[in-house]
Structure 1
Amino acid sequence: MFSYKSLAGLFMTLSLAAANIDTPSGADMCESQGEGSCQFATFDITDNTGGICSTALTRQAVIYDHACNQIGWSSDFFNEGDSIDSQLPYTVSIINEDGGQTADCRMKYTISYSDGTYGYGMPSNGAWNSCDAESGKACSWYRTAFPCPGF
């Protein structure tokens, strides 16, 4: 039986397969989780003039399912208050970003999904570190898990 919802799901799946985000070397964006656990992950590339982050050049986020398949992503830039679409039934919203004005430029995020809050400063906290960037730029990655029943 044909339905618009199944057609929309097929379109999202085909779109995701065609446009996976290419992440920087050293960005540990996903660590396989058990079923029902997804991950929000991001990398930031900034102008690192004088050892302090200044201008964000790229900021992208990816939503992964429990097997580290990309099921959603942001545009080239996102900010606090933005939502990220995915194959999940709800959007993932960026409710806080922390860090960035340090020598290592490491950003950390707090997100909301469904009826919960996850990430930096929460019990789930997440993981973050630096990644590879060309000279004069800094790269950092961040990831946190959140429950997503059915994925």
Structure 2
Amino acid sequence: MNIRHSRPEDGQRVVEIWRKAVDATHDFLSAQDRQEIDELACGFLPQASLWLAVDETDYPLAFMLIDEGHMQALFVDPDSRGTGVGKALVLHGLSLHPTMTTDVNEQNGQAVGFYEKMGFKRIGHSPVDDQGKPYPLIHLQYQA
């Protein structure tokens, strides 16, 4: 496995990873909210500057978006969960930003557990997500 920056030709695969990961982990989203987020993601992700975890054939398995020390997104293809690709991306992010922060949906218990196991600590809570939707967020920061 390698970690590299995304390229324009990765766009379709990145959207596919996002959709598969959301379908596997975000069952708390309403159908309407899921559709609205999908439209935003399809417009944004293909041209975003992402870090990708790729296999030996350069096939993307997961992606991460970091903006000024805040991890905006980490999505792993469900077929690659448990293989260490998510952990590798987070460790890469921490090598660039040692006190990296992130937000995680409170309803996504698997993600909350993953980040806490990685050493992230709860530093806050919001009753709604960044779009004002009723999906509470837990604010986390890495603490060595």
TM-score normalised per structure 1: 0.30
Which structure shows the bigger proportion of residues in helix conformation?
Answer: 2
Q: Relative contact order: is structure 1 or structure 2 higher (C-alpha 8 Å, sep ≥ 6)?
A: 1
Q: Please tell me whether Structure 1 or Structure 2 has the larger radius of gyration of its CA atoms.
A: 1
